[in-house]
């Protein structure tokens, strides 16, 4: 790459697309055959000539928003390159092994708050002459989810601990990323039901449900995470796709 790079195309489904001042673009600089080893990272100002955005109507995370970024002959000077030429994809994958544990913790924190509010609520709300907490059908699902949230949190922390020690942690990051958001969604769903009709109103519980759902997709879906875990355990050549 010399002088400047010219970017053309669309990248869709970008968080904060219409709010960001700068974006990191991963563009193909090698041949198609070079696959993951022919991608370069570039820092692109969002006010660059030829760059436009739109905004989607999202189910959750509405304050952040999501949209497409369109590039029409967007020219970027060579000194905006991040890291080495053609190494962008490999670089970002290391970052994913970090962010995936953080996403797990982010979702589990929302689940933890939902549980705390629900434990409190079921001691206050009276039904059939007793607090809801007197009914095993109400408390046992919460007790089980409380247990699972503690377990999933430890998996996320294990991934971060391994990273700090400079040890392999792709499998743990994959576990944190698929389990944390999925579990958080299931926990909040159960909590919402404990609030009865009130849980279905616009409010914190339904918003939490919408907000964590996006994390089951963004940054890699559960299927991709499970493939990463399987490749780590069984070996890449035995788990082709």
The verdict on 91 binding ligand FAD (CB under 6 A) reads no
Instruction: Single out the residue of 5, 7, 14, 145 in contact with ligand FAD (rule: CB under 6 A).
Output: 14
Least CB distance from residue 124 to ligand FAD, whole Å? 34
**If binding is defined by CB under 6 A, does position 224 make contact with ligand FAD?**
yes
Of the residues 2, 124, 136, 223, which one makes contact with ligand FAD according to CB under 6 A: 223
Binds ligand FAD (CB under 6 A): choice among 15, 53, 91, 232 = 15
- What binding mask, one character per residue, do residues 42-81 give for ligand FAD by CB under 6 A, x or -? -------------------x----x---------------
Q: Which stretch binds ligand FAD (CB under 6 A): 43-51, 121-129, 183-191, 218-226?
A: 218-226
Query: How far is it, in rounded angstroms, from Cα 195 to Cα 124?
Result: 11
The smaller minimum CB distance to ligand FAD, of residues 4 and 13, is found at: 13
- Closer to ligand FAD by Cβ: residue 18 or 219: 219
Q: How far is it, in rounded angstroms, from Cα 185 to Cα 226?
A: 18
Applying CB under 6 A, the site for ligand FAD has a residue count of 14
Give the residue, chosen from 28, 30, 218, 232, that forms a contact with ligand FAD under the rule CB under 6 A.
218
Please identify the residue of the shown chain whose CB is closest to the bound ligand FAD. 214
Complete DSSP assignment for 180-212: HHHHHHHHHHHHHHHTTHHHHSSSHHHHHHHHH
Q: How far is it, in rounded angstroms, from Cα 32 to Cα 79?
A: 24
Q: How far is it, in rounded angstroms, from Cα 104 to Cα 201?
A: 27
40 binds ligand FAD (CB under 6 A): no
Cβ atoms 31, 38 nearer than 8 A = yes
Coil, helix or strand at residue 218: coil
Give burial (CB, 10 Å; 0-12/13-18/19+) of 233: exposed
8 A C-beta contact, residue 77 and residue 150: no
Residues between 187 and 216 that touch ligand FAD (CB under 6 A):
214
219 vs 238: CA distance, rounded Å: 24
Provide the binding-site residues for ligand FAD, judged by CB under 6 A. Answer: 13-15, 61, 66, 214, 217-221, 223-224, 241
């Amino acid at each position: 790459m010399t002088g400047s790079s010219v970017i053309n195309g669309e990248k869709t489904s970008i968080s904060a697309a219409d709010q960001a001042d700068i974006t990191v673009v991963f563009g193909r600089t090698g041949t198609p055959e070079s696959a993951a080893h022919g991608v370069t990272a570039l820092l692109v100002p969002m006010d660059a000539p030829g760059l436009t955005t739109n905004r989607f109507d999202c189910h959750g995370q509405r304050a952040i928003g999501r949209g497409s970024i369109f590039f029409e002959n967007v020219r970027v000077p060579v000194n905006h390159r991040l890291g080495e030429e053609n190494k962008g994809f490999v670089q970002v994958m290391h970052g994913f092994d970090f962010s995936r544990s953080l996403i797990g913790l982010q979702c589990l924190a929302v689940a933890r708050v939902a549980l705390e509010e629900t434990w409190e609520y079921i001691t206050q709300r009276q039904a059939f002459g007793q607090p809801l907490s007197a009914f095993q059908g109400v408390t046992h699902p919460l007790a089980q989810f409380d247990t699972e949230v503690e377990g999933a949190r430890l998996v996320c922390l294990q991934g971060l601990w391994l990273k700090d020690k400079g040890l392999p942690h792709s499998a743990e990051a994959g576990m944190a990323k698929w389990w944390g958001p999925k579990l958080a969604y299931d926990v909040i769903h159960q909590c919402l039901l404990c609030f009865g009709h009130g849980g279905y109103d616009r409010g914190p519980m339904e918003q939490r449900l919408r907000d964590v759902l996006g994390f089951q997709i963004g940054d890699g879906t559960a299927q991709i995470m499970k493939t990463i875990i399987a490749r780590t355990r069984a070996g890449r050549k035995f788990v082709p796709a």
